[in-house]
Structure 1
Amino acid sequence: MADVSVNDSAAERVGYITRVQSFSACHRLHSIHLSDEENKRVYGKCNNPNGHGHNYKVEVTVRGKIDRLTGMVMNLTDLKKYIEDVIMTPLDHKNLDKDVPYFASVVSTTENVAVYIWDNMVKVLPTNLLYEIKIHETDKNIVVYRGE
């Protein structure tokens, strides 16, 4: 029988896992707290009454101790399921402003989409595991949120 020894320092090693997922959605940048004129000035063409769409790319990163027995921070199969439940089901191919109750009173900026995803991911992930939500709205516009 082979002696399997685990290096004690390995139990303290921290790893980061990122899972990438894409979804498509439309929205209109419009604040109920601003006049129509102010909305047009602040949001420009993104305030189009008919909205506009994006192919978002979301990176969900978790951070935690690498389990000395499994060698994992968490099971990627579980992370995939959480992403499906929190991001894909409620957001993919949806009008964020009309189909997602959260955005009825919150402007659907990418910053607020990141907050929405964060707030819902922390509800399903083990405590203190979520590290970062990064959303690529376009190739040039990227938002990072770490729950701060």
Structure 2
Amino acid sequence: MKVAVIRKEHFNSAHRLYNPKWTDEKNEKVFGKCNNPNFHGHNYDLYVKLIGEPDPETGYVYDMKVLSDLIRDKVIQKFDHKNLNQDTDEFRSLNPTAENIAVVIWNILRKEIDPSLELKVTLYETERNIVEYPAD
């Protein structure tokens, strides 16, 4: 009997989508407004989903308070109110697209969560732009 538990969190970050190997013209053409050299920001909604068997003693798949603290300590504190390009090691040489942000968050959390639990990260960059990793 597998059950999914989901924790929703929120953070705000600025970024610039830019490929340093390209000309300014190509970056502008590909990334448009997201290539603004002065950066731009998003109010991200993050959903972390764990799937597994409930513990017979606690009834939990995963203690949601522990999950909340883990996300806060490992993700939110790292990315909230930060310029992803300039303030984080993860995106100094990795373009901070929503896709890459979701993968980075998944990798951070995967190291901390029992591998017997399936982990999925869903990141809402906007109300209409949503990324899920891993994809089904």
Q: Distance in 1 between matches of 2:118 and 2:28?
A: 36
Q: Does 1:136 align with 2:124?
A: yes
Which of 68, 72, 77 is residue 56 of structure 2 equivalent to?
68
TM-score by length of 2: 0.95
Q: CA deviation at 1:147?
A: 7.2
Q: Which amino acid aligns with 2:32?
A: G
In structure 2, the partner of 1:59 is 47
State the SS of the aligned residue for 2:31. Answer: helix
| SS of structure 1 residue aligned to 2:111 | helix
In the other structure, the counterpart of 1:3 is: none
**5+ unaligned residues in a row in structure 1: which ranges?**
1-12
Q: Which letter does structure 1 place at the counterpart of 2:86? A: K
Q: CA deviation at 1:98?
A: 0.3
Number of aligned residue pairs: give it.
136
Task: Determine which structure has the larger helix proportion and give its number.
Answer: 1
**What pairs up with 1:1-148 in 2 under 5 angstroms?**
13-146=1-134
TM-score by length of 1: 0.87
Q: Percent identity?
A: 39
Larger-Rg structure: 1
Structure 2 CA distance, aligned partners of 1:26 and 1:44?
16
Distance apart, 1:130 and its partner CA:
4.0
What is the rounded CA distance, in whole Å, between the counterparts of 1:88 and 1:130 in structure 2? Answer: 21
**Amino acid corresponding to residue 42 of structure 1 in structure 2:** V
Q: Which moved more, 1:122-131 or 1:105-114?
A: 122-131
